[in-house]
Structure 1
Amino acid sequence: MNEIVNGVAVDNGEMKRTILTEKDFKTFKLENGDILFNRTNSYELVGRTGIFRLEGDYMFASYLLRLKVDGQKADSYFVTHLMTSDLFQKQLKTVATKAVGQANINPTNLKKQIIPLPPLEEQKQIAALFQSIETAMEQVDGQEKHLKALWKRLIDEFVSDKPSFGNLLKGKKLVTYNYCDITEKLMRKIDPLTYGIERIVAGENLESEDFKIRTWQKIGEGYLGPAFHVLFKAGDILYGSRRTYLRKVSHADFDGVCANTTYVIKAKEELLLQDLLKHIMLSERFTQYSIGVSKGSTNPYINWKDLDNFSLQVPDLDTQKEIANVLDGILEIVEQLKQQKATLKLLKQKLLNEILG
């Protein structure tokens, strides 16, 4: 199942190997252009589809269906793109049978699904268009991964025993501080029902390695537990103190309320810039330190005082600003690339939906 990614069968190095008779091998051997369909999985994942185009000897698992396209009538790439469309996948869910933790789409119901088939040459042209969109998405994805790796390397080199950041730190005086000497945990207790706050941010609303808070709940739209009484304001840093290996650090751009298990943090900006602190808290060294001082096994957590022995060296404020600007600039480009991918995906889905009508 994990070998079907974005409509294509891939070898991620985790495929199982087996010994077969020559007869069985001929029966189950995959050929270029075969379409693999996941007929049994969770309700969310059942129906995942991908085209096989790997070189070498491969077979398919029993929970997959292999579909062979009549090359005189249809193009396998065109059919695969249609089957991976949101509209077709939604249509498949209506014929899936549910069991405990699983769903199944049997071959009979799959064969009943209707797809439009324009002339073969037109199918190939459409498939080529979709492939060009996929290629563009892959290129954007590669750029995004490269920039994220660069950002991570830069921040890890800065938050190290021997800090460096290109040439910016050469000849600069660095001062060593303990974490709690240059930050403070804010505990503004409020009654969220009467204070006038609209947004509630829970732990699940904080994404790993993403400073932006993209989802939230609203006051009055569900149960609000007693732990949700901590006010945060735009500009504050939110840090998930549970399971810190998840690297949940967010830079709020609105006011809201969170639980007391989410730390609201502010840098003492006469010593450390808030814009740099958020990057420091996503460094590998800080993350490993927080994991090391965590308590508990099922749901490990940290106490604020546990962070005090984390030490780091920082330059003057002007240099900090230069470093923060570089790091923020990289992430701004990453965000633009994400939006490009989303736009390309939306374009493809719109075209597919028009074809499926």
Structure 2
Amino acid sequence: MRKDKWELVKLGGICEIDPSKRELADIASDTLVSFAEMADLNEKRPYFNFSRKSNLGVLKKGGLSYFKDADVLLAKMTPCFENGKSGLVAGCLNGIGFGSTEFFVLRGVKIDPYLLYSIISSDFFIDSGKLMMLGTTGRKRLMKDFVANYQIPLPPLEEQKQIAALFQSIETAIEQVEVQEKNLQNLKNQLLCELFSEALQFTNYLNKNDFEKIKFEKIALNISERVEPQKTTLDTYVGLEHLDPDNLVIARTGKPDDVIGTKLKIYKGDIIFGKRRAYQRKVAVSHFDGIASAHSMILRANEKYIEKEFLPFFMQSDVFMNRAVQISEGSLSPTIKWKTLAAQEFILPKKEKQKELTKLFKQFDTTRDQLKQQKTTLKNLKQKLLSEILG
């Protein structure tokens, strides 16, 4: 590929932005078409599913965005744009779709649709767009002029197709890794469910004599040390927004300066459990000293009755999470009280059996981390190739 032979063009010159609905004039108003909410789009992933369908005549009357198969959708409003909300349209009912007014619709005229999607979802494009958004905090929007005037080096069509095919192969590899991740998590959840069930048996390793009924307050200590964020020397904050469902590892953190109000002190090795909206299944082990949201519960294993590394895996199980949801109080933001949780009884393997079980479940997490690293490597490869093309 001879990049020095590529033509420098503006996106507005090689694609149509927000196509007119006038081209639908001859299509019957009762034709069923697809509809996409903003929530339907993924972050930096090309394909998505439509949330619903409706008659063309109903959707055409309003100010909704109109698109068809092979068009590219781009979120224009904060924080969706910054998060990479975009998509390549495929599988519309009768080839026609409508969606949020907060989409730009880009229809490639002289550019391969997948390459166009790859460009507008790239870090290059998003980082440049962030600087050009207008509006007040929380209501900022990307302007159409920025999209139309954004310049790229455009390869000949045959080279575009080759580049798009390469990006598609990387995306396919990422999807395959994600399937493996999902299957691995499902298997882990299944084994956790079997381990803590009332069957009192686990493969050939445990029988009913290896289990005991025990109250939660006996295996876990509630640590409620309060901290004022502006008065602490600790520099790491963990809110519930930083915890991922069914993941014991804390991948993101904030700063104490970013929050106000009394928080909870956490020590390395403590368990952070989202006591608010427990159905979100947020529980993680801190690998640092810091402070945590007051909407979390800080727990520490009572090592007299349970192995320290075994407790988090138990708390990931459906048995624990379902009970947590059941005992939550409140309608809008259901929350668990420590006194209620402490009184709950669970059937657990006896302590002397827990070390080997911990090794098993740690292996699941190790394998999952390896898969996540593969996915990160593939994503970085795609961004590196895009930077070489656009840079």
- Work out the percentage of aligned pairs sharing the same amino acid: 31
Distance (Å, rounded) in 2 between the aligned partners of 1:265 and 1:142: 32
Q: Tell me the equivalent position of 1:129.
A: 166
2:52 counterpart of 1:15: yes
2:80 counterpart of 1:44: yes
Q: TM-score, normalised by structure 1?
A: 0.82
Q: Tell me the equivalent position of 1:69.
A: 108
Q: TM-score, normalised by structure 2?
A: 0.76
Cα contact 1:43–1:98 (8 A) shared by 2: no
DSSP-derived class of the 2:250 partner: coil
Stretch moving more, 144-153 or 104-113: 104-113
Q: CA deviation at 1:59?
A: 1.6
Unaligned residue ranges in structure 2 (runs of 5+): 1-37
DSSP-derived class of the 2:97 partner: coil
2:278 counterpart of 1:239: no
Distance (Å, rounded) in 1 between the aligned partners of 2:142 and 2:232: 50
**1:241-280 deviation digits (Å, cap 9, x = unpaired):** 2232232212122223446653332223232212221121
2:356 counterpart of 1:322: yes
**1:276-335 deviation digits (Å, cap 9, x = unpaired):** 211211222222222222223333322212013422222233421222211111111112
Cα contact 1:286–1:310 (8 A) shared by 2: no
DSSP-derived class of the 2:68 partner: coil
Aligned letter for 1:310? Q
Distance (Å, rounded) in 2 between the aligned partners of 1:203 and 1:138: 27
Counterpart of 1:346 (choices 367, 380, 387) is: 380
Distance (Å, rounded) in 2 between the aligned partners of 1:259 and 1:37: 36
Cα contact 1:39–1:106 (8 A) shared by 2: no
Distance (Å, rounded) in 1 between the aligned partners of 2:89 and 2:252: 36
Q: Tell me the equivalent position of 2:289.
A: 255
Distance (Å, rounded) in 2 between the aligned partners of 1:9 and 1:201: 32
Q: CA deviation at 1:89?
A: 2.6
DSSP-derived class of the 1:300 partner: coil
Cα contact 2:283–2:316 (8 A) shared by 1: yes
Alignment of 1:21-170 (within 5 A): 30-31=68-69, 34-38=70-74, 40-45=76-81, 48-54=85-91, 57-61=94-98, 63=101, 64-70=103-109, 73-98=110-135, 102=139, 104-105=141-142, 109-170=146-207
Q: CA deviation at 1:141?
A: 0.8
Aligned letter for 1:132? S
Cα contact 1:3–1:9 (8 A) shared by 2: no
Cα contact 1:29–1:57 (8 A) shared by 2: no
Cα contact 1:35–1:52 (8 A) shared by 2: yes
Cα contact 1:40–1:102 (8 A) shared by 2: no
Q: CA deviation at 1:118?
A: 1.6
- How many pairs does the alignment contain? 345
Distance 1:189 1:93, change over 3 A: closer
Distance (Å, rounded) in 2 between the aligned partners of 1:308 and 1:232: 19
Q: CA deviation at 1:355?
A: 1.0
DSSP-derived class of the 2:54 partner: coil
Distance 1:127 1:305, change over 3 A: same
DSSP-derived class of the 2:154 partner: coil
Distance 1:102 1:197, change over 3 A: closer
Distance (Å, rounded) in 1 between the aligned partners of 2:98 and 2:360: 48
Aligned letter for 1:252? S
Q: Tell me the equivalent position of 2:213.
A: 176
Cα contact 1:7–1:80 (8 A) shared by 2: no
Aligned letter for 2:277? R
Distance 1:354 1:157, change over 3 A: same
Cα contact 1:231–1:257 (8 A) shared by 2: yes
Distance (Å, rounded) in 1 between the aligned partners of 2:235 and 2:87: 43
Unaligned residue ranges in structure 1 (runs of 5+): none
Counterpart of 2:327 (choices 293, 309, 330) is: 293
Aligned letter for 2:319? R
Distance 1:259 1:111, change over 3 A: closer
Q: RMSD of aligned C-alpha atoms?
A: 3.3
